[in-house]
Structure formats: C-alpha cells, structure tokens
C-alpha cells in the first residue's frame, strides 16, 4: 500500500508539467503480467508508465494480480528502450506442493502464497508513432525473484517476455 501511495504522489507534479498522457490495453509485462491496462505519461523523449492486470496463470489455479512500473527512452519515433519492474501476488490457498526430503519421514509441504518480482530491460516497437494512438509490441528480458512460505528465501531465474498492446 505504501508503494502505491508513493506512486500516486508522483502524478500531481507531472500533471502540472507539459505532459502527454495515454491509456492502453494489452498483454505482457507492461500491463501487469498476462492482460491489463496501462497509463503512460510522456515528457520529451521519456515515457513513464504504470500498468495493472491479471498475471500469468499457474498450475495451482489461483488468481494472480500484477503491477508494473517502467520507464522508456525513445530512440526514434518508432523505437524505444527502457526498464520495467513488475511484482505479482498469488491469491488463495496453497495447492502448490513441495517434497521435503529433509523431514523425517519425508512429507509434502503446501505453499500458501507466492510473491514474485521481475526487473527487466525492454525494447518497444510502435507501429504508428510512440506519441500517437496505435499498436505496439516489444520484448523484455530480466531477472525474476520469487518468495514462498516454504523455503523462507528468495529464488531467482531469468525470464523473457513478449508484450503486445494498443495505446489510445
């Protein structure tokens, strides 16, 4: 909740600046995970965005919600490079089980909740123009950090993604 309040505190100063804002719908990292919405604000060649939506489905059939925040630097009217941070939380009970071979006797442990963060570099291609309404697509590559109630430590791995959307 504190993170969301900090993000909201950034938007009033931007509303007083010369900022062009856009809304979008899409799939992928910039939209919170699987499918969602995105609000972006453009100042000169920089774009800051906040996305929220449903995160990717899992084998445990629990709902996951994701939030992403990012920054892009336009290289040309159609190409942009940037950074994105996404976090997601899985809701519901623990259907995901782990085999604990250290226990006597060995048992299954059920995870209750899982938190996941993703930090990535992004490349975006705008079919029309970065500053106009139209379709966009892109790639993201970065590091994923996961935490469950099972191991009490973070696991990490590489994640690659493709995103696609429409900005209004």
- The pLDDT value recorded for residue 117 is 85
- The pLDDT value recorded for residue 140 is 94
- The pLDDT value recorded for residue 125 is 96
Under a CB-based contact definition with an 8 Å cutoff, are residues 85 and 75 in contact?
no
SS3 25: strand
Under a CB-based contact definition with an 8 Å cutoff, are residues 122 and 84 in contact?
yes
- The pLDDT value recorded for residue 54 is 87
- The pLDDT value recorded for residue 95 is 44
- Alpha-carbon distance 131 to 105, whole Å? 61
Kindly report the length of the chain.
Answer: 168
pTM of the model: 0.72
- The pLDDT value recorded for residue 93 is 47
In this prediction, the residues of the chain whose per-residue pLDDT falls under 70 are 1-18, 56-62, 90-114, 148-155
- The pLDDT value recorded for residue 94 is 46
Q: Which CATH class is domain 2-167?
A: mainly beta
Under a CB-based contact definition with an 8 Å cutoff, are residues 135 and 166 in contact?
yes
- Alpha-carbon distance 126 to 5, whole Å? 31
Every domain of the chain and the residues it spans: 2-167
Give the number of C-alpha atoms closer than 13 A to the C-alpha of residue 71, restricted to the C-beta side: 7
- Alpha-carbon distance 9 to 74, whole Å? 25
- Alpha-carbon distance 70 to 5, whole Å? 16
- The pLDDT value recorded for residue 144 is 86
């Amino acid at each position: 909740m504190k993170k969301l309040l900090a993000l909201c505190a950034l938007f009033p100063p931007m509303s007083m600046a010369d900022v062009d804002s856009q809304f979008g719908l899409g799939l992928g990292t910039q939209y919170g995970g699987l499918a969602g919405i995105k609000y972006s604000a453009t100042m000169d060649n920089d774009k800051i965005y906040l996305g929220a939506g449903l995160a990717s489905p899992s084998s445990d059939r629990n709902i996951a919600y994701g939030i992403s925040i990012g920054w892009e630097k336009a290289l040309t009217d159609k190409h942009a490079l940037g950074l994105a941070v996404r976090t997601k939380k899985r809701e519901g009970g623990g259907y995901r089980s782990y085999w604990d071979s250290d226990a006597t006797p060995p048992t299954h442990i059920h995870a209750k909740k899982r938190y996941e963060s993703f930090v990535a570099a992004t490349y975006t291609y705008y079919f029309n123009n970065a500053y106009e309404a139209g379709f966009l697509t892109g790639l993201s590559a970065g590091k994923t950090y996961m935490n469950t109630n099972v191991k009490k430590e973070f696991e990490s791995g590489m994640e690659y993604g493709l995103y696609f959307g429409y900005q209004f």
